[in-house]
Structure 1
């Protein structure tokens, strides 16, 4: 299998690095429903002797737990009645990457398969792969880039936990959007993340400050959708790992406090399998591009569960906050949920709905599925929104996880695009989150009611 770029390792290069003692640990990882990397850390020689040719397994409950890793009833894939069996880690040997922040270690990302054969369809990577294959059947490949914002605190994860996440010290004390001085305050950390991710095979573009206190963004060059989602998952985990090495913490929560939230703007375009342009011709947008935009808009409310998968995700959708509330598009208009930017080879749409807590595979799959739906049904593109989309009167995105869950459940498009088994699986994910939140006693309730009510 070919590697994605010359900074990733071939199997033979990995074998040689293990033989000379340069690599001693092989991490096998996949991305779970919550967007987290899960897997195993293997001794390198054991990997060569026993796993490289034969693979390995992991418990299928890993796609049937909540954020706290509690086993929960109601998932078809895994249960006490079924004995919590295994699923197979199928190594993607095109993803062997060094992890410079973890000396002696490489990571290989995996697809998940059933013991009896065939893919685990509810696995996020398989959900995205199915949409990429759908595009390929049309003769297209989907390219994407994700822009992840995060907040840095001069507080370790352990101290943050012990304090109940109160009184955390942000790395910047004021708005440092585009501020060189503000970025310099945390440059040792940002530099280490950038360089480590370059060494891990990513093409790093830049870092910049953002609006919230201690908020920053590191950007990476676009790639095919699966590569972009893989890189996103590795970067998000590595950034937290590196932050803890500095005695700091990073959060990608969509709304960690009452100030600006963490976004994950997603840029996407289609190209021919021969890299020919699909969205641009003769100095203007093509009908295919317009149909794609129309499809993303037409499915935005129904697919919001994949763009905003958590209770906290919806706290970010605030009027006048640069997070979108309207299902609308505009030319370079940051108040719209869909912003068109670029021309020629750079023509693409930016989906501004997802937050930093998004599962990249699911969000990219939703965006691609929506766009393909628009093309296949030749949906007309409504007029663009001029001025503030917040005041446009356009339909709004769901404002709660419960509302998004209903829209996803009622979506015939979702059932057709992803399959009823996938829809059922992720509806149950939402139900588990809603039940957990409904049962929780929040700080807000205690502050308002402990003495005064």
Structure 2
């Protein structure tokens, strides 16, 4: 059985503005889309098509943290070097208090800055923010090497170890979230008089969505496509207001990078539509949202987890055994909050007898 080929769409590129574009205001106003190279960003900034660049450092909670730069300042002062961000971004929890007890940073050693270098392979437009480009950054340690506890570097290290065995990981993600009508604040309640789901019924696989949900889906799908992250499918799920979005298979690091940007788009566009989007594991009793991670391992282009007849291979058996052994200790990573454990109840399809339920399919193990 062969691995499913990556289904990436060729991304549009930005051409350097020409003299004819300068004479044609409508052509000059044509915004770039998709992923960009640094030279393309310079051209877009020079043409006035991009005025803001967001440099984001992924944190331990799967969020984007960083700064918005004036585009010209970013090009002149940051692009060829680095920026500074506080180290505590990599040593805190979801509420971001300065926490003691970390070797990286603490009250004793001081909450100093860390250099963040733009990873230009991640540079793309953010169509949900006007004239804005985004680039993820890598935190650099005192030895001029990426900090090994930064999430992107943790994943890189694991992929390097796989590559030493001739193995390459492909990942496809299915993400669930819930849409509520209304804007969330800390004093907002869920239910009557507060936030209510964007739909009232179980709309699993439904195709008769409300006009508000249809508009939101169209705007989100269009924005993600123009950011160079086309979706595979959008569907409503079983809980009221619940949505699942599936992305095409691809490299593991790229898939995780895109997922961070995707969550930013989901929340931003929901806010502009007068709604609130939450990826919380269980925002209400009986409502459970998760992230399905579909993984395949290939060697020389051939999948190695299943056998040709669809059974688990020896490598597949060892992969599942490793998951069953490691997942209890990894719980603080995949279930980091008290709310996470509200999913683990009887008759929830999220694995209550053990931490992992493995299925072998044409593309790998789920």
TM-score, normalising length: structure 1: 0.70
State the 1:101 CA deviation. 0.8
- 3-state secondary structure, aligned to 2:354: coil
Unpaired runs of 5+ residues, structure 2, are 1-8, 12-33
In the alignment, what sits opposite 2:113?
Answer: 86
Matches within 5 A, 1:40-59: 40-59=67-86
In the alignment, what sits opposite 1:312?
Answer: 339
Distance 1:266 1:183, change over 3 A: farther
Distance 1:183 1:339, change over 3 A: farther
Matches within 5 A, 1:368-387: none
| Greater than 6 Å deviation, 4+ residue runs | none
In the alignment, what sits opposite 1:21?
Answer: 48
In structure 1, distance between residues paired with 2:139 and 2:90: 10
In structure 1, distance between residues paired with 2:325 and 2:91: 30
In structure 2, distance between residues paired with 1:241 and 1:155: 13
TM-score, normalising length: structure 2: 0.86
In structure 2, distance between residues paired with 1:164 and 1:283: 52
Matches within 5 A, 1:17-416: 17-157=44-184, 160-165=185-190, 167-182=194-209, 186-272=213-299, 274-285=300-311, 286-327=313-354, 337-343=356-362, 346=363, 348-350=364-366
Most deviating of 203-212 and 160-169: 160-169
State the 1:275 CA deviation. 2.5
In structure 2, distance between residues paired with 1:204 and 1:9: 19
In structure 1, distance between residues paired with 2:145 and 2:121: 20
Kindly indicate whether the alpha-carbon contact (under 8 Å) linking 2:60 and 2:90 is maintained by their aligned counterparts in 1: yes
Query: Which protein has greater RCO, CA pairs closer than 8 Å, 6+ apart?
Result: 2
CA offset digits 1:46-67 (Å, max 9, x no partner): 1111111111111111112232
Distance 1:260 1:162, change over 3 A: closer
CA offset digits 1:185-244 (Å, max 9, x no partner): 511111111111111111311111111111111111121111111111111111001100
State the 1:288 CA deviation. 1.5
In structure 1, distance between residues paired with 2:360 and 2:236: 21
Distance 1:134 1:163, change over 3 A: same
In structure 2, distance between residues paired with 1:339 and 1:188: 36
Query: Which of the two has greater helix per residue?
Result: 1
- 3-state secondary structure, aligned to 2:215: helix
In the alignment, what sits opposite 2:5?
Answer: none
Kindly indicate whether the alpha-carbon contact (under 8 Å) linking 1:194 and 1:218 is maintained by their aligned counterparts in 2: no
State the 1:283 CA deviation. 3.1
Residue correspondences, number: 334
In structure 2, distance between residues paired with 1:177 and 1:283: 32
CA offset digits 1:138-167 (Å, max 9, x no partner): 11111112211111111113xx43424553
State the 1:5 CA deviation. 5.4
In structure 1, distance between residues paired with 2:295 and 2:304: 12
Kindly indicate whether the alpha-carbon contact (under 8 Å) linking 1:176 and 1:183 is maintained by their aligned counterparts in 2: no
In structure 1, distance between residues paired with 2:284 and 2:350: 14
In structure 1, distance between residues paired with 2:189 and 2:211: 29
Kindly indicate whether the alpha-carbon contact (under 8 Å) linking 1:55 and 1:89 is maintained by their aligned counterparts in 2: yes
